[in-house]
Structure formats: structure tokens, C-alpha cells
Amino acid sequence: MNRWQQLCLAGAFGSVSVSVSAIDTPPSWNPPEVVAAVPGYFFLFDGYEGQNRYMQFDHFGEVGIAYSNSETFYARRTPGLGWQSANVNGFSANDELGQPSLAFNLSEQPAVAFVEDNAGLADEIRWTRLEDATWVDETAIATTPITLEELGASGIFDFTGRAMLAAVTRDATYFKHDTDGDGSLFAETLEEVYSGAPIGRASCSLVVDPINRPMIAAAHGNGASLRFAVRDTGTGWQWIELDTNADYPSLAIDPDTGYPAVAYTDLASANLVYGEWNGTKWVFTNVDTAPSTGWYPSLAFDPADGNPAIAYQDQGSGDLKLAWHDGAQWNLQTVVNGTIKVPIGWTPSLAFNAFGNGFPAIAYFGIDSNLYYIEDPPPAADLDGDGYVGIADFLLLLNAWGDCVSCPPSCAGDLDGDCTVGITDFLLLLAAWT
């Protein structure tokens, strides 16, 4: 969630208070949590290639994850129960489903775009969304029978809360927009972004810029050609080829400039590459050049300082890694250690809790086929969200002294959860002082 989105949502919801702290030092991650066991994941691995948006935070800072395993699921962490999952499409076990992307509309209702390989029948890009308490599933785009890895999908909501969908179907890229605002994409006009792309493995990533223009990064072919496209008023869809030997693009908007940026895997060198539009041209940087690194990147911008961060897998070591820019240089960190024989961190999805304290979180898979979630929240005593516990937090605690107005949830400063801010909370804050 970038600053432009926060401003838009502040207009939609009223005043939104966002207190965030930037990644200035290597995050100290909490232990990984198992979200779900996905036994068939490794057999359906092609269905996850290129996917980087299957985890998101809603506008209240609550996390959700979409994943596929013959059926598509939505997982949410429920207080007191842990991770709970719901089937969002209910198709038969013969369907191979993959590349789920998750988004929340302005009413905090989740929606998932995903691809469906129908075993010799017409394949589909599907759009399923929660309306009240019911998941509504529909065909957004139907295609001729092709393999699962030759399909790609990415679904989002624009600044007005209307659904947008990008899809790659073997040798072309398409787009749909919920122009009438009914939540459905079934009857909307199918726009061809471009055709004539190399045939082969496909993936895509969709965003909107600060003036609500849709932008798509898509990879085509086993080559693979990486293309960037934008739809502008008066000129329609325009596209450019960014690289002829790249894959797994992850597209995001720089909140400071409003310009697009993309992370991807350089297939020639297996390096992690970051590219950004500077207003005049695309500029590319090799972020990690270790042997066989930079796979399946997920790009997001830190809401505190506007700098980019990328989660990715290092196949040379089997590690889940994070790269982040501090305003001067790129920094690298191993988030979870793996090995070549027991790799971790497949197809990670990175997001920032921009409506909480701005902390990063990553969803990822292990070779054990478990879906994991890991996060780096600030200490509970960091009441102002600046990454430190100090005098400002002490003053906030004093301001909240006494009984909480409503409980649960407990109020800010109630560190021991007893619905009162008092001496015990003061001692806990002192113990966390930095």
C-alpha cells in the first residue's frame, strides 16, 4: 500500500492515521507461522511462477493470503484461532489452479484472480470475490486449452474501488475493467493490450499509477521477453520491451515519484534486477549477483520512506532473502535459511502493513509444501511506530493513562492487555526502552 493509495483511501474512509517506521536496519523477523499445508504444491509449481501478490494487508492492517491446490483458498489470521482458510471456488480436484492474486476493495472485501487449467477443455481466468458472506465466482476470460504455465493473471482494485484484471494467455496480453461498478468482470469489454508475444511460460503484474492509469509488466516465452504496458487517455495501450531474457516480473509504483518500477529475474545471469522509470528512461540495477539468485521477486515500497524492498529466493543457497534500499544503497538479508537440498522461500509475496506500523511481512512456500507467513512488527511498546521505544512513547502512554474507553480491543498503551493503562504498562515500556 503506497502513499497515493493511503491518500485515496483517506478520502474514502475519512481521516486515516498511519504511523510507520522505515527499514533502516536488518529486520528481526518473528518465527515463521504455518498458514496451511498444500500437499500438491510442488506438482503445481508452474501455477505459482511469477506470482507476487497473493498476500495483502487490508486497510485496517489485517493480513490475508490466497493460495491454490486443485482448489483456490483464502486464508486469514483469526484472533484466538490462528490461520483459518476458506474455499473460494469449489471446483473439482481435476482442475489445476494457480497464480492467485489477492486484493481488497474499499469495503474491505477480498477478491482473488486466478487461472484454471481444465485438462483439455477451455481454460479460464477467473475472478472470485466476497460479497457479504458469500464468495461469488465467475469466468473473467475464457481461452483455448493450453498448459497452466502459459497462463497468467493479476487482479487489483483501482482508486475508485473498481476491479481491474490483467491476463496473459500464451502469446497475448489482455485487460478488463469493472466500468459499471457492479463488482463483476464477466460482461466487461475484453481489451487486447498487445499480441504477438513469444509463446511459452507467462506471468504478469498489474498496478495503477497516481492518476489511476493501469500498468502491466508481463513476461512471455521460455526466453523470456519482458514487456511493460500502460493505457493512457487518448492514446490507448502502449508498450515497450524492457528485456529479452527476463522472467517473473513484479510491478509497483514509487510513492515518491508516482513512476513505475519493476523487479525481475535476469535469466541469463540468474541475478535479481530492479528497474525504474526516472521520468525520461528506464534505469536498471543488478541488486543481487550471487550465483543463481533473484528468483520469483516480489516488489513493494516501504510506506515510511518510499524506498523499494524485494523478497526473493536464492536458489544457489536455498534461502529466502530480502533486499531493501535505504536511500543510498541496496542492502541484503537472509530472512530464512535453507539449503540446496532443503530449499525455502519459493515464490514469496512481500507486503507492508501500511495501515498499522508499516512493518514488512512475507508469505512463501517451503519444499515441504507448507505455506508460511513471517513478519517483522515493531515492539508493542513502540506506540508511535518510529522503530524505537523512547520518550515519545512514554508521553503517549501517559496521555492514555487510566481505563480504556472500550475493551476489547485494548487501547494504545495497554501493553499487558488488562484494559487499563497503568504502572505495569509503564514497567513494560521501560523494559523495552531503546
pLDDT in tens, 230-258: 999 999 999 999 999 999 999 999 999 99
Predicted local distance difference test score (pLDDT) of residue 23: 74
- The DSSP element (H or E) to which 8 belongs, if any, is helix 3-13
pTM for the structure as a whole: 0.85
Number of CB atoms found within 10 A of residue 97's CB: 24
The half-sphere exposure of 198 on its side-chain side, counting CA atoms within 13 A, is 20
Structural domain spans, the chain: 3-375, 391-431
How far separated are the first and last CA of the chain, in Å rounded? 28
To the nearest 10 degrees (0 to 180), the angle between helices 391-399 and 423-431 is 170
409: cis peptide before it, omega within 30°? Answer: yes
Predicted local distance difference test score (pLDDT) of residue 4: 38
CATH classification (class only), 3-375: mainly beta
For residues 308 and 263, give the distance between their C-alpha atoms in angstroms, rounded to a whole number: 10
Please say whether the beta carbons of 52 and 362 come within 8 A: no
- The DSSP element (H or E) to which 428 belongs, if any, is helix 423-431
Mean pLDDT, consecutive 10-residue segments, the chain of 434 residues?
A: 38 37 78 87 54 89 88 88 89 70 95 84 88 92 76 94 93 94 95 90 93 96 89 95 94 97 93 97 97 94 93 93 95 91 87 80 89 87 79 89 73 82 88 78
Residues constituting the chain? 434
For residues 116 and 96, give the distance between their C-alpha atoms in angstroms, rounded to a whole number: 6
For residues 252 and 276, give the distance between their C-alpha atoms in angstroms, rounded to a whole number: 10
Decide: helix, strand or coil at residue 105. Answer: coil
